[in-house]
Amino acid sequence: MITVFTSTFNRGYKLPELYKSLQKQTYKNFEWLIIDDGSTDNTEHLFNKWGNETNFFRITYIKQKNGGKHRAINKGVQLAKGELFFIVDSDDFLASFALQRIQEVYETISENELFAGVSGMKAYPDNKRVGGSLPFKQIDCSMIDIRAKYHIKGDMAEIFKTEILRQYPFQEFDGENFISEGVVWSKIGQKYLLRYFCDNIYFCEYLPDGLTHSIAKRFRQNPQGSMYAFMQIINSPKHDIKIKIKTAVKYWRAVPFYKGEKTKEMKPKMWQYLFWPFGLIIYFYDLIRE
């Protein structure tokens, strides 16, 4: 079974599109697990309605106090019934063959312990891939090497073995409701591979109220989680020096927003202080822009 997981917050106006795309799936052995992260719109009404409709897939809807997508993922991973865990955002939708294609590719690596899962491609509604064209039809590599070694840009549609995600929960910081998903993906990428295939299985629009558009603001509002995430990249032996320098600047950009004590995992390396002035400049730019 595949668990299609969705964390949602006030996306009642977009969820019907995703629901319809799940109804059209050619592969039937999946569940839809939804964590409602404190919505105040008509989201609960929609799932009460859909839960009474006849569907070939199971719908599990859980509403909780707003705590951020990473907390919702942590909970979803623990509740998932599927062997695979596929995160599909509430403002996106799937191609009708998406789950079928995932299953076909997964069967080729399911018994291989080197792999954490598989990954298809994300595309805009006009079917143009997010990040541009690809130089391969299929490739096996880590989530770090796909960027650092092969220089592939754009978001991917990763599908993970659920048992592996359970070994890598997101860090949760009191008073903060965001941490980059890259924290966990980077940890997994240091040990495991994904089998990437070039089919566009996932369609997205990047709405103005989405995480992508507000990422800089969320880093500022959640400095502890941001510094922790940046240090994970800096401490990783698999990231090249260019990535680490850019990340060091981002680290200092977030530091002024955090007034508490830094844990061992958040403390900077000596060489990072070289890039403190650059991070401070961006910090002041953020304040002016706000």
Q: What is the pLDDT of residues 45-69, one digit of tens each?
A: 999 999 999 999 999 999 999 999 9
Sign of the torsion angle spanned by Cα atoms 11, 16, 20, 23: positive
pLDDT reading at 164 higher than 90: yes
> What is the reported pLDDT for 280?
92
Q: Indicate the pTM of the whole model.
A: 0.93
Q: Where residue 208 falls among pLDDT bands split at 50, 70, 90? A: low
Burial pattern 148-157, b for ≥16 Cβ within 10 A else e, equals beeebeeebb
What is the radius of gyration, based on Cα positions, of the chain? 19
Euclidean distance between CA atoms 168 and 110, whole angstroms = 19
Q: Pick from 234, 223, 236: which is nearest to 262 by CA?
A: 223
Residue 115 CB partners (closer than 8 Å, separation 6+): 109, 140, 161, 192, 193, 194, 195
For 130, the token pair is 């997010």
d(C-alpha 157, C-alpha 198), whole Å: 10
The answer, yes or no, to whether residue 211 has pLDDT greater than 60, is no
Confidence check: pLDDT of 188 > 80: yes
Q: Count CB neighbours of 16 within 10 A.
A: 12
Alpha helix (H) ranges present in 175-240? 182-189, 215-221, 223-235
Tokens of 14: 């977009």
Residue 97 to residue 103: CA distance in whole angstroms: 10
Those residues whose C-beta lies under 8 Å from the C-beta of residue 240, and which sit 6 or more positions away, are 148
**Of 56-60, 239-243, 264-268, highest mean pLDDT:** 56-60
pLDDT score for 271:
95
Q: Which domains does the chain have, with CATH numbers?
A: 2-203 (3.90.550.10), 215-289 (no CATH)
pLDDT at 176 over 80: yes
Residue-level pLDDT at 31: 98
Rounded to the nearest 5°, which phi and psi values hold at 94? -115, 150
Which residues have a Cβ under 8 Å from the Cβ of 155 and sit 6 or more positions away?
Answer: 122, 130, 131, 204
User: What does the mean pLDDT of the chain come to?
Assistant: 93
The yes-or-no verdict on residue 251 having pLDDT over 80 is yes
State the pLDDT confidence band at 175, using cuts at 50, 70 and 90: very high
pLDDT, position 263: 83
Task: Give residue 214's pLDDT band: very low, low, confident or very high (50, 70, 90).
Answer: low
Tell me the pLDDT band of 260, cut-offs 50, 70 and 90: confident
- Sorting pLDDT into bands at 50, 70 and 90, what band is 259? confident
pLDDT higher than 70, residue 213: no
Q: What is the per-residue pLDDT across 64-108, written as a single tens digit (0 to 9) for each?
A: 999 999 999 999 999 999 999 999 999 999 999 999 999 999 999
